[in-house]
């Protein structure tokens, strides 16, 4: 995270961790057709301070959106490919 992004989290990191844990606990057990919970809470862990992912405290920038989109694609592709009918 960049220093600007660290400033966003300085007083609220524990709050967000608790929120993400509550969301994951609630949604990971949902078993509905056409629904898949994908926990992306660690999607930015491999990026460093030079990688500016956020515009502000709540909104992703272009790079952050691209990282999330790729993670969603990687998670859903096997499920989609597995459901396709072969000719």
Domain residues for the domain of 70 are: 3-83
pLDDT of residue 34: 83
The count of structural domains within the chain is 1
| pTM beyond 0.85 | no
How many CA atoms within 13 Å lie on the side-chain side of 40?
A: 18
User: What is the torsion angle, in degrees rounded to the nearest 10, for the CA atoms of residue 7, residue 9, residue 11 and residue 14?
Assistant: -160
Q: What would the pLDDT profile of 36-76 be if each residue is shown by its tens digit?
A: 898 998 999 999 888 989 888 789 999 999 999 999 999 98
State the average pLDDT for the chain. 86
Pick the more confident residue, 28 or 34. 28
* Spatial CA neighbour of 64 closest among 51, 82, 50, 74: 51
CA angle 42, 54, 58 (to 5 degrees): 85
């Amino acid at each position: 995270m960049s220093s600007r992004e660290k400033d966003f989290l300085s007083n609220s990191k524990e709050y967000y961790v608790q929120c993400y844990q509550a969301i994951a606990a609630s949604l990971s057990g949902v078993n509905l057709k056409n629904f898949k919970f994908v926990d992306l809470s660690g999607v930015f862990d491999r990026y460093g301070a030079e990688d500016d992912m956020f515009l502000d405290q709540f909104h992703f920038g272009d790079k952050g959106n691209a990282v999330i989109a790729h993670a969603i694609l990687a998670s859903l592709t096997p499920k989609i490919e597995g459901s396709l009918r072969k000719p």
